[in-house]
Chains A and B, each alone.
Chain A
Amino acid sequence: MLRNFFITALRNHIRFGAYTAISVAGLMLGMAVATLVFLHVWQETHYDRHLPDADRLHIVELTLDVPGRSLQELLIAPGPLGPAASESIAGVEAATRLWQAWYTLSVGDRLKFNHPIVAADPNAARMLGLDMLEGSVDALKDPSAVLVSTTMAERLFGQGPYLGQQVSLDDYVEVEIAGVYADMPSTSHLDEQFIIALESPAVRGRGVRIDTDWSRAAVYTYLRLAPSASPVAVGEALQNLARQNMRAPDGTTIESAVAVALEAVTDLHLNGKTYVRRPGETVGSPTALVIAATVAALVLIVACINSINIATARSTDRAHEVGLRKVVGASRWQLIVQFLGESALLVLLATIGALVIAEVAAAAVGDFIGRELIFTTLLQPGALLVFFLLVVAVVLLSGLYPAFVLASFKPARIFQPVAGRSGLSLRSVLVVFQFATSIALMVLAGTVWQQVRYLESADLGFDRKDIVQLPGVRRDPAGTIALTRRLGQALEGRPGIVHVSGTHSSPSWDYADEAQVRPATAAADANVSVDRLAVDLDFFDVLRVAPVAGRVFDEQFGPDRAQWDLEARREVELPLVVNLAAVNSLGFGEPNALVGEVLRLQLEPGYEREGRVIGVVPDFHFKSLKSRIRPMVFFPDPTRFNVMLVRINSSQRDAAMTSIEQAWQQTLPGQAISQNFLDRDLVNQYVSEQRQFSVLAGLAGIAVFIAMLGLVGLLAHAVTARRREVSIRKVLGAENGDVLKLFLWQFSRPVLIAAVIAGPIAWLLAERWLSSFAYRIDVAWWLFAAAGGSALVITWLLTALQVVKVSRTRPARVLQARAG
């Protein structure tokens, strides 16, 4: 019996090859999308499971809620907290700490580059499960040892040998490779390449006192809990420990401001607020996963609908077989099983194709979405089971309804030549669903595209072009002043260099410190929260921002440059430039009214300075367009410069780049230069939005394609099924145009209904997506017209193609063939 079913199924699929091909092609694409999205979702939700005792491994999360300042949620904690916890808290089995910083790595004169490295406790290699290929897992007990990943080892020493090789850090500390470990899996929040000991002189050389400094959150602290320990209870004990010991820099307790909790390491990727180590990687986003899974499910449903529609449309072709089987005694259930079996065969075929597509596409799609997609993840038992269930779901979704329809034919009715139009209404509903999905996805992709274009090209209020950023100039206060001064002087006057300014933060970093500000004459509770930025005198010249009142900083005014003198600067009045938003929030109606006023700035809790406003600049987007422009105060403070901004002459680009290179080498011999164009980095701020667009556009395209495939199948069937009607109409005088109109209307109707349904839904979703941006476009009406219009035009084209095919046959022959 099975053999009989199988043979009938196969013969049927072969006999109606084109229809079967359409079903399978749609399902294959749908399953390929589903497979890739499934891989992605599985990986995103299964980060860090490879770590030893992953379920017991937690990271300390520190929340600082200092009154008057915005909430800070940190995954770093004061250095002494970890060791104190493992000594005094019962549930803590072990603790290990990682301290991260950028260093210049060099190998003799041969190789030199900047790279982030970590310094770790000796037990870190074991607790974090490093897969040692060479050397000892306990090597970090030696302060001069370094463990490197295979990638780093190859970068430093090619084919090796590696053990015992020397690497120089910042040109003054030598470390020796004591171990090489396999690269950490991409499904880990950790991506460390170069691990030195916390005891290393290189750490001490940066002036960090990790083992004693309770005032500064500095290290990632991992705790392995005892199997029975409660993370909540341990978190409370940690909080007590932190509150007893932590101090503000001025020595005051900050007890109530500190909250400590434990975050499971396996939750870190999806819920971790700021923990991103890999360059270019974005944090996991549950919302993005839900969106991706939903859209993939929609695409898959669109593909299943193809199968359902083609199967039910063709049901009349198979009515005779059903009738005969029933006449010879087949039960309804046997027939349902038979037809489900046929669907299963199709889905199986499609799944095999989909897996091949997914395997081939995994790498490219991974690049697209900024994650490595590892095809073999599917082979993990859990993933395999879920994937199998997905396939079964697709079989049921695509096969159950047609099986019931086919199996329910009454043998007596079947042998009468009644034109079968059963299931038409459901079929139309399903087609409407397909088109609504396609149109909504097109609108959403279009909206994301427009917003991305807006983000990338909006007028930010300053000239973003031809500015080079040189990060890595921060030292201790005196060192930063000296270094930025020397670098500035080395740059000035060289070919192609227009202006140079140090600054605490760059417009592409989406970051500024906070301060509390009030007019000096106002009461202390009149404080307004503002963004503050330490800048050099040429800052506004570099950005080409002109004041709307007063002046900006200038060399010719003594007090402006006086801030470069660490001794004298406390005595000199601090000059302030504010933006228009600050004028408003400080309650001055008009920019000129604020010029000359004295403001009190609270820079840290308990640390205030006075300054006089010398000018007001227009509001410009110092931070990303995702947040509103905040009131902002600029003042010269060379101790806080992190980055130099260099405006170059666009017509002397090459000369300018050479100048920058030379000035850097002259000022910082031995340190590698990292230079980036500001406009490029500004665009890179929106990389996750660009990815969302790519993914949505790709999926929308696939959904449209699958829906169109189904439409071709339905059209072909409808045109064949209505051949007789068409012939009668033609006998009665209908011309090809009239026949075309008939089908155009039949197939335009679902598209039009779909557009009407998809419109409001897409609008709501687009509005919702856009609402996360402080600065955004309006949803464009023409996107709806374009999406609906293109669906309609494609439908018309496909319809015309099919109708042209039938209209070539002479009506007499069709009618005769039937009569005969």
Chain B
Amino acid sequence: MQTPNELLSLHGVSMTYRTAAIETAALAGIDLTIDNGEFVAIMGPSGCGKSTLLNILGMLDSPTGGQYRFQGQDVANYSETALARLRKQHVGIIFQDFHLIDELSVRENIELALLYHDVSAATRRQRADEVMDRVGIAHRAGHQPGQLSGGQQQRVAVARALIAAPDLILADEPTGNLDSVHGEEVMDMLRGLNDQGATIVMVTHSPAHADWAKRTVNLLDGRVVAHDIRRAI
């Protein structure tokens, strides 16, 4: 049942948070397949499980039920360490509030994503230069994140997600903390990356930004309620 172009697929994935008193189902039986080269937007109201889904896709969390196949391997029951290894090889993540480390410079923040790969310092530098050029932040390489605008910070975060050349880029409300001008910039950049072949899954509130994607998945109460496939323009 795996199509030749499939990057990942979820089958009946559920996620339940347990606290002492109550059990909350964040995801209840998600089926979703994402092919290489897709640009998917996940939409839905607050609390519908968007971020939980993204965390599972990014292997930051394991589902409590169901099957998650990534490049043909069933990773739902992988250990945390195994997931971490898979993640750093294949996944780049962009967060709503950037999550840059304040004490490190722009360059160091970007290189951080290669620090845990078996890559020489010279290669790290070179690759950082490349991605900084790509997102247009090279002139800020020596600055601290605190000295940058929100849009610039998100570019740094994008560069960091790109540097390890991941097969999948996950973006969690990448424009949520940005004004509309900077938001458009970031969307434009993601679209450009997708055009160059990157697979992107993006969580967003904004229908306008969702329009940049080639497919939209609507979630409500932990379930997929609609697929909306658009043709690439």
A interface, CB within 8 angstroms of B: 418-419, 421, 724-725, 727-736, 738, 810-813, 815-816, 818-819
Q: Which residues of A contact B225 (CB under 8 A)?
A: none
Whole-angstrom CA separation of A732 from B164 in the bound complex: 10
Q: Which residues of A contact B61 (CB under 8 A)?
A: 810, 812-813
Q: Which 7 A-B pairs have the closest CB atoms?
A: A733-B88, A812-B60, A733-B116, A812-B55, A732-B113, A728-B99, A734-B116
Whole-angstrom CA separation of A729 from B112 in the bound complex: 7
Whole-angstrom CA separation of A818 from B96 in the bound complex: 11
- Closest residue on chain B to residue A733 by CB atoms: B88
User: Could you name 10 residue pairs across A and B whose Cβ atoms are closer than 8 Å?
Assistant: A728-B100, A731-B58, A731-B87, A731-B93, A732-B113, A733-B113, A734-B116, A738-B115, A810-B60, A818-B97
Q: Which residues of B contact A811 (CB under 8 A)?
A: 60
Q: Do the beta carbons of B51 and A816 come within 8 Å of each other?
A: yes
Contact of A730 among B84, B96, B97, B101 (CB under 8 A): B84
Q: Do the beta carbons of B102 and A815 come within 8 Å of each other?
A: no
Whole-angstrom CA separation of A733 from B115 in the bound complex: 9
Given contacts A812-B60, A816-B51, 14 further A-B contacts (CB under 8 A): A418-B102, A421-B103, A728-B99, A728-B100, A733-B84, A733-B85, A734-B116, A735-B81, A738-B116, A810-B60, A810-B80, A812-B58, A813-B61, A815-B99
Q: Do the beta carbons of B116 and A819 come within 8 Å of each other?
A: no
- Known A418-B146, A421-B103, A728-B101; contact A735-B60, beta-carbon cutoff 8 A: no
Interface centre among B60, B87, B112 (most CB of A within 10 A): B60
Whole-angstrom CA separation of A421 from B55 in the bound complex: 30
**Restricting to B91-107, which residues have a CB under 8 Å from any CB of A?**
93, 95-97, 99-103
B interface, CB within 8 angstroms of A: 51, 55, 58, 60-61, 80-81, 84-85, 87-88, 93, 95-97, 99-103, 112-113, 115-117, 146, 160, 164
- Known A418-B146, A730-B84, A810-B61; contact A724-B116, beta-carbon cutoff 8 A: no
Q: Do the beta carbons of B116 and A735 come within 8 Å of each other?
A: yes
Whole-angstrom CA separation of A736 from B80 in the bound complex: 10
Q: Which residues of A contact B95 (CB under 8 A)?
A: 815, 819
Whole-angstrom CA separation of A731 from B93 in the bound complex: 8
Interface centre among A733, A736, A813, A818 (most CB of B within 10 A): A733
Q: Which residues of A contact B55 (CB under 8 A)?
A: 812, 816
- Known A819-B96, A819-B97; contact A732-B116, beta-carbon cutoff 8 A: yes
Whole-angstrom CA separation of A727 from B95 in the bound complex: 12
Whole-angstrom CA separation of A811 from B55 in the bound complex: 10
The total of interchain contacts (Cβ-Cβ below 8 angstroms) comes to: 63
Interface centre among A727, A730, A734, A819 (most CB of B within 10 A): A819
Whole-angstrom CA separation of A312 from B167 in the bound complex: 44
- Closest residue on chain B to residue A421 by CB atoms: B103
Report the minimum CB–CB distance from A728 to chain B (whole Å).
5
Q: Which residues of A contact B84 (CB under 8 A)?
A: 730, 733-735
Q: Which residues of B contact A813 (CB under 8 A)?
A: 61
Q: Which residues of A contact B113 (CB under 8 A)?
A: 732-733
- Known A724-B99, A738-B116; contact A732-B160, beta-carbon cutoff 8 A: yes
Report the minimum CB–CB distance from B68 to chain A (whole Å).
15
Q: Which residues of B contact A736 (CB under 8 A)?
A: 81
Whole-angstrom CA separation of A290 from B116 in the bound complex: 53
Q: Which residues of A contact B93 (CB under 8 A)?
A: 731
- Closest residue on chain B to residue A815 by CB atoms: B99
Q: Which residues of B contact A732 (CB under 8 A)?
A: 88, 112-113, 115-116, 160
Q: Which residues of A contact B117 (CB under 8 A)?
A: 733
- Closest residue on chain B to residue A813 by CB atoms: B61
Whole-angstrom CA separation of A732 from B161 in the bound complex: 8
Contact of A725 among B81, B101, B146 (CB under 8 A): B101
Whole-angstrom CA separation of A816 from B100 in the bound complex: 14
Whole-angstrom CA separation of A733 from B114 in the bound complex: 8
Whole-angstrom CA separation of A812 from B123 in the bound complex: 29
Q: Which residues of B contact A419 (CB under 8 A)?
A: 102-103
Report the minimum CB–CB distance from B1 to chain A (whole Å).
29
Whole-angstrom CA separation of A731 from B92 in the bound complex: 9
Q: Which residues of B contact A735 (CB under 8 A)?
A: 81, 84-85, 116
Whole-angstrom CA separation of A813 from B61 in the bound complex: 9
Q: Which residues of B contact A734 (CB under 8 A)?
A: 84, 115-116
Q: Which residues of B contact A729 (CB under 8 A)?
A: 101, 112, 116
Report the minimum CB–CB distance from B126 to chain A (whole Å).
18
Q: Which residues of B contact A818 (CB under 8 A)?
A: 97
Q: Which residues of A contact B103 (CB under 8 A)?
A: 419, 421, 725
Q: Which residues of A contact B116 (CB under 8 A)?
A: 729, 732-735, 738
Q: Which residues of B contact A725 (CB under 8 A)?
A: 101, 103
Q: Do the beta carbons of B96 and A731 come within 8 Å of each other?
A: no
Q: Which residues of A contact B97 (CB under 8 A)?
A: 818-819
Report the minimum CB–CB distance from B169 to chain A (whole Å).
13
Whole-angstrom CA separation of A730 from B88 in the bound complex: 9
- Known A812-B55, A819-B95, A819-B97; contact A731-B112, beta-carbon cutoff 8 A: no
Q: Which residues of A contact B99 (CB under 8 A)?
A: 724, 727-728, 731, 815
Whole-angstrom CA separation of A733 from B58 in the bound complex: 11
Whole-angstrom CA separation of A734 from B101 in the bound complex: 14
Whole-angstrom CA separation of A763 from B115 in the bound complex: 41
- Closest residue on chain A to residue B172 by CB atoms: A819
- Closest residue on chain B to residue A419 by CB atoms: B102
- Closest residue on chain A to residue B164 by CB atoms: A733
Whole-angstrom CA separation of A811 from B80 in the bound complex: 11
- Known A816-B51, A819-B97; contact A731-B102, beta-carbon cutoff 8 A: no
Report the minimum CB–CB distance from A99 to chain B (whole Å).
79
- Closest residue on chain B to residue A734 by CB atoms: B116
- Closest residue on chain A to residue B54 by CB atoms: A812
Whole-angstrom CA separation of A818 from B95 in the bound complex: 12
Q: Which residues of A contact B60 (CB under 8 A)?
A: 731, 810-812
Report the minimum CB–CB distance from A119 to chain B (whole Å).
81
Report the minimum CB–CB distance from A790 to chain B (whole Å).
31
Whole-angstrom CA separation of A730 from B84 in the bound complex: 8
Whole-angstrom CA separation of A818 from B113 in the bound complex: 21
Whole-angstrom CA separation of A669 from B147 in the bound complex: 99
- Closest residue on chain B to residue A736 by CB atoms: B81
Whole-angstrom CA separation of A532 from B99 in the bound complex: 85
Whole-angstrom CA separation of A811 from B61 in the bound complex: 9
Report the minimum CB–CB distance from B152 to chain A (whole Å).
18
Report the minimum CB–CB distance from B159 to chain A (whole Å).
12
Report the minimum CB–CB distance from A118 to chain B (whole Å).
75
Whole-angstrom CA separation of A819 from B55 in the bound complex: 14
- Closest residue on chain A to residue B163 by CB atoms: A732
Report the minimum CB–CB distance from A735 to chain B (whole Å).
5
- Closest residue on chain B to residue A416 by CB atoms: B146
Q: Which residues of B contact A733 (CB under 8 A)?
A: 84-85, 87-88, 113, 116-117, 164
Q: Which residues of B contact A815 (CB under 8 A)?
A: 95, 99
Report the minimum CB–CB distance from B47 to chain A (whole Å).
11
Report the minimum CB–CB distance from A20 to chain B (whole Å).
27
Q: Which residues of B contact A727 (CB under 8 A)?
A: 99
Interface centre among B84, B95, B102 (most CB of A within 10 A): B84
Whole-angstrom CA separation of A819 from B87 in the bound complex: 21
Report the minimum CB–CB distance from B173 to chain A (whole Å).
9
Whole-angstrom CA separation of A308 from B100 in the bound complex: 30
- Closest residue on chain B to residue A810 by CB atoms: B61
Whole-angstrom CA separation of A421 from B99 in the bound complex: 17
Q: Which residues of A contact B101 (CB under 8 A)?
A: 725, 728-729
Whole-angstrom CA separation of A812 from B97 in the bound complex: 13
Q: Which residues of A contact B80 (CB under 8 A)?
A: 810
- Closest residue on chain B to residue A811 by CB atoms: B60
- Closest residue on chain B to residue A729 by CB atoms: B112
- Closest residue on chain B to residue A728 by CB atoms: B99
Q: Which residues of A contact B85 (CB under 8 A)?
A: 733, 735
Report the minimum CB–CB distance from A726 to chain B (whole Å).
10
- Closest residue on chain B to residue A808 by CB atoms: B80
Whole-angstrom CA separation of A368 from B57 in the bound complex: 66
- Closest residue on chain A to residue B89 by CB atoms: A733
Report the minimum CB–CB distance from B229 to chain A (whole Å).
28
Whole-angstrom CA separation of A733 from B84 in the bound complex: 5
